[in-house]
Structure 1
């Protein structure tokens, strides 16, 4: 996979999946631009950006051509449905969906200029596999899956590919409360057919493929990188 001198914007590269992907791309000699609330410990150009209070003027600092855009911000707001407020839903939609819409709109011209760009969004296993207490996050991430397919169709003529990755529980700072004790880790591992929760590197590897020239015929897909959670039932 050749990434040398290509330009990639990663929203949310300060930790977790975005950080792992940025590391991989930098090692492959790509030019990585990161945008988030916290500056990552990476040799990349940093832009201060917040999904809940977005200032898209910061993207004026980017080069005229982007070969890929990855939107990593997400939420884990697990509550019984009767305890979810309108504000909970609004916050999840703002971070998971509207932030992505805003970033893509702000950088669409740069992506078109590459004539072979890739956009990657993130969903969750909970969209396909019904899970209790996931009403708010599954709703907003379900919207991401709809956005992925709609944009893939609309952008195909400009050679921009759009795909989404739908992980199961992954060991990232966002999931720290769900994996805070050995007992919780063991229980989470056992729920997955592959016997463990995901690692950032598992998801970053798929994202790297979708950004690469080897992924140039893949668009409009939702990839369930979830240790078998969405499709397998073990005896």
Structure 2
């Protein structure tokens, strides 16, 4: 049984991950902006807003931390404002920085701690109208590599870079059969991401089965970034 903190776990991938970790009989702590849709059995629940960093009461020892909050800001570059860029940076990157700095003492007390962050296929695969979110997620990937180097050998740090995933956040892009079909056809596997599948990757990276994996960006994108069909 391990002690995990999931940030942003009341919907989508985070919610699916909490459910999987609880099924594995781990102790799970949640830090979320909204405290709705959280399953029973959590060890603690705290309010967390990535745009308003605040002090959290963290467990003395943490075996793993997963930072799930994200945004999907899609606009032509000429319409993006400074506020758009700052909003994406605050939620995707600076919020993760705040949590990681706060959690570092607790992570250091675990014999084999693991950190999992979330990037996006857009960080390394050029997509139109993604300038703001691509830049924010690229910052997450840079942070992942830098911390993996700085915190080795004691703390493993990896990131997952999904393509479009069927979550509440992505619902405006998938809110009709026509949109779902078009999105699926853009991927060589002819499907969009599933929260449970992405959560399973995060669960694996937290586990002892991934003890030889750090500094990696795990791409889970239905083949869109590497296969042409």
TM-score, normalized by the shorter chain, greater than 0.5: yes
Equivalent position of 2:39 in the other structure: 42
Equivalent position of 1:200 in the other structure: 195
* Aligned pair partner of 2:159 in 156, 161, 164: 164
* Aligned pair partner of 2:129 in 119, 122, 133: 133
Pair 1:75 & 2:71 matched: yes
Q: Distance in 1 between matches of 2:38 and 2:132?
A: 31
* Aligned pair partner of 1:22 in 4, 18, 24: 18
**Shift, 1:214, TM fit:** 0.2
Q: Distance in 2 between matches of 1:131 and 1:22?
A: 31
SS in 1 for 2:220: coil
Pair 1:184 & 2:192 matched: no
SS in 2 for 1:183: helix
**Shift, 1:202, TM fit:** 1.2
1:173-196 deviations in Å (ceiling 9; x for gaps): 000000011100000010011110
> Deviating runs (4+, > 4 A) in structure 1?
none
Pair 1:31 & 2:16 matched: no
Q: Distance in 2 between matches of 1:166 and 1:210?
A: 13
1:11-70 deviations in Å (ceiling 9; x for gaps): 0000000000000000000000000111142121211110011212x2x2x321000000
2:9–2:38 Cα contact (<8 Å) kept = no
Equivalent position of 2:50 in the other structure: 51
SS in 2 for 1:70: strand
**Shift, 1:109, TM fit:** 0.5
SS in 2 for 1:121: strand
Q: Distance in 2 between matches of 1:193 and 1:71?
A: 28
Unaligned runs of 5+ in 1: none
2:116–2:157 Cα contact (<8 Å) kept = yes
Unaligned runs of 5+ in 2: none
Q: Distance in 2 between matches of 1:127 and 1:54?
A: 24
TM (norm. structure 1) is 0.95
Q: Distance in 2 between matches of 1:210 and 1:143?
A: 20
2:13–2:68 Cα contact (<8 Å) kept = yes
Equivalent position of 1:13 in the other structure: 9
**Shift, 1:128, TM fit:** 1.4
**Shift, 1:127, TM fit:** 1.2
SS in 2 for 1:142: helix
2:63–2:114 Cα contact (<8 Å) kept = yes
Q: Distance in 2 between matches of 1:114 and 1:78?
A: 39
Q: Which has the higher helix share?
A: 1
**Shift, 1:115, TM fit:** 2.4
> How many residues are paired up?
226
